[in-house]
Structure 1
């Protein structure tokens, strides 16, 4: 087979390498072309060198090109994969820093809440530019695989306004299944059958079976509470399991910021989170992790390049959906996964226009969703609260309506639990002014927002958050790596 895959945001080096090696685990794909594109020439050249080394080490005819000219990369592409973070870590830091001034303490801030909504405002205009280029220069039936957050908002915009065949992809379901299999004593996830449905980052294991035997709430609660690690790292998630009756796909830290109950006061935050790793609820945890990862890669690049010289091990193909979807579409080897698509009746008690995450099957005919799923009422209610925020956020990003943007932020569950309307209005003004370079649709609103900020009487506070850790130096990271090797 010979076709072209374009990867936008290919400078996300670790993730691009994973997708690349996964796809090359499919024997029929050895003769394809990968076109890498990114706004950073520096990052592009680093990842291209790594992928070229993989191709050389495995004696493959695979072609790898790299260009900052996105349109050129998309020419003739059959598949386009997006891993972009518009604004980079600079804008992301404001997604965490500014809401903190108004009492909104986020762990990740990339899906909803104040940070996720502004992240969507930066991404959606760029997503629509991608879609325009795809319609004009890619293959006629190009498929867009979006990995970038905020997943639901980006996918919603690409489908509704970009008019491109789009699927959103995430790995939260797979990671949740791995946890469940472990606490139940399964040898692997192959022993676990499940139906997981909802919206991205709020997906629920509504049917669980271990070797064909149904697993109920009480057994699952007992298994998690008996686990020596997860009982401490996932306290909030276990509490939601007890109250809702089903387990959520999302980590303790992610889930905590989508709900209005657990991060509303500093003392409550420290009660429910765990500081052993960023993903369990640390204030700005993913920002710290992303910063350390970037610094580590820049410093230790020769090691990454050396590691690329090893043969591809097909047994280590990851459970990321992309390679499996492409394999099913091109070879007709059927794949079952969980995909982000427009609802259209798949989940009976969620809005039809929403982007849902639910099971589907892929073959030559495309992605075929399993329809007629009904969520437990509490799960549906929680999802709908987020969907309403996502819908307003997408419409605000398209129209550049700053008042609608403020209403979207106001209706966010955690923001509403913490902040007053006056605080929300000022916070959004502050974020739009700070991120104006990445928000062209709000350029007309920035002068008035700046003027309001200059005369505002709304009080804020400067604090690091309830559970903040400092970014570790390269020396500290090396020492930690050495300690882990010694312990292992």
Structure 2
């Protein structure tokens, strides 16, 4: 086969490498073209060198190009994959730092909550630029695969306003299923059959069968509470399982930010989280992890390049959806996965315009969703809180309406549990001013926001959060990896 895949944000080096090797595990795809594009020439050249080394080591006819000219990369592409982070770690640091001044303690801050909403405001104008280029220079009816967060907001904007055939992709469902299979003693996750549905980062395992046997709430709770690791790391998630009756796909730290109950009191936060890894609830955990990962990669790049000389092993193909979707579309080998698409009747008790994440099947006719799913009422209610915030956030990003943006942040579950309206209004002004370089749609609102900030009497505090860890040095990371290797 011969077609072109463009990867926007290809400077996300580790993830791009994973997608690349996954796709080349499909025998029919050996002769395709990958066009890499990124705003960072430095990162772009690093990833191209790695992919070139893979192609050379495996004696493949695969073509790899790299350019900072996005439009050139998209020319003639049949598939476009986005894994961008608009504003990079600089803007992301403000997504965590500024809300902390107002008492809002986030673990990740990339989906909703104050950080996720502002992240969406930075992303959506760029997403619409991508869509314009796709419509104009890519293959007719090219498919846009969005991996970038905030998943629902980005996908919503691309479908509703970008007018491009878009699917949002995440790996939360797969990871949750692996956990469930493990606690139930399955030999392989393939023994677990499930229906998982909801919205991105709030999907729910509403049906579970292990080797054909139905698994109920009590058995699942007992299995998680008996597990020596997950019983510590997923305390909040297990509590939600007990109260809602179903398990959430999302990690302990992520889930804690989408609900108004677990992170609103600093003295309560440490009760529900675990500090063994960032993903279990650490304050600004993903920011710390991302910073360390960037520093580590920059320092250890020669080793990453050397590792690229190894043969591709199809048995190690990951469960990321992209390669499997492309394989199904191009070869008609059917693939079942969980996809972020416009609802349109898929989930009966969520709004039609919402971006939902639910089971679907892919073949040469496209992505076909399993329709008519009804969520348990508590799950639907929790999803609705986020959907309303997402809808307002998308509309604010499109219109540049700072008042609507403030209302979106005000209605966020965790923000509303912690902050007063006056605090929210000032916090949004501060975030818009700090991130003005990435918020062109709010340029007209920045002068007035600065004026209001100069006169504000809302008190803030410099607070690191309830459970913050410092970014580790390269030396500390090396020592930790060495200790783990020795212990293993």
Query: Quick check: TM above 0.5?
Result: yes
C-alpha separation between the residues in 1 aligned to 2:237 and 2:473?
Answer: 31
Q: Report the CA distance between 1:41 and its aligned residue.
A: 0.2
Structure 1 counterpart SS, 2:179: helix
> Which whole-Å deviations, capped at 9, do the CAs of 1:128-176 have from their partners, x for residues lacking one?
0000000000000100000000000000000000000000000000000
Q: Secondary structure at the match of 2:258?
A: coil
Unmatched segments (≥5 aa) in structure 2: none
Tell me how far apart the structure 1 counterparts of residues 102 and 158 of structure 2 sit (CA, whole Å).
32
Deviation digits for residues 89-132 of structure 1 (CA, Å, limit 9, x no counterpart):
00000000000000000000000000000000000000000000
Superimposed CA distance per residue, residues 204-251 of structure 1 (whole angstroms, 9 cap, x where no aligned partner): 000000000000000000000000000000000000000000000000
Deviations 1:292-348 (A, max 9, x none): 000000000000000000000000000000000000000000000000000000000
Question: Who is 2:211 aligned against?
Answer: 211
- Number of the residue aligned with 1:323: 323
For 1:277 and 1:188, locate their aligned partners in 2 and report how far apart those are by CA, in whole Å.
24
Deviation per residue, 1:4-57 (Å, 9 max, x gap)? 000000000000000000000000000000000000000000000000000000
SS in 1 for 2:433: helix
Q: Distance in 2 between matches of 1:276 and 1:481?
A: 15
Deviations 1:438-469 (A, max 9, x none): 00000000000000000000000101000000
What is the SS of the residue equivalent to 2:447? helix
TM-score by length of 1: 1.00
Q: CA deviation at 1:422?
A: 0.1
Deviations 1:362-394 (A, max 9, x none): 000000000000000000000000000000000
Q: Distance in 1 between matches of 2:52 and 2:187?
A: 36
SS across alignment from 2:198:
strand
Number of aligned residue pairs: give it.
488
Task: Report the counterpart of residue 140 of structure 2 in structure 1.
Answer: 140
- Aligned to 2:203, the other structure's residue is in SS state strand
2:81 counterpart SS class? strand
- Give the CA deviation at 1:268: 1.1
2: CA distance between counterparts of 1:346 and 1:443? 38
Partner of 2:373: 373
Q: Structure 1 residue 361: deviation in Å?
A: 0.0
Q: Distance in 2 between matches of 1:169 and 1:94?
A: 26
Taking the aligned partners of 1:4 and 1:484, their CA distance within structure 2 comes to 41
1:301 aligns with 2:301: yes
| CA distance in structure 2 between the aligned counterparts of 1:332 and 1:410, rounded to whole angstroms | 46
**Deviations for 1:170-212, whole angstroms, at most 9, x for unmatched residues?**
0000000000000000011110000000000000000000000
Across the aligned residues of Structure 1 and Structure 2, the Cα RMSD in angstroms comes to 0.2
Aligned to 1:99: 99
Q: What SS does structure 1 have at the residue aligned with 2:351?
A: coil
Q: State TM-score, norm by structure 2.
A: 1.00
Measured in 2, the distance between the counterparts of 1:337 and 1:455 equals 52
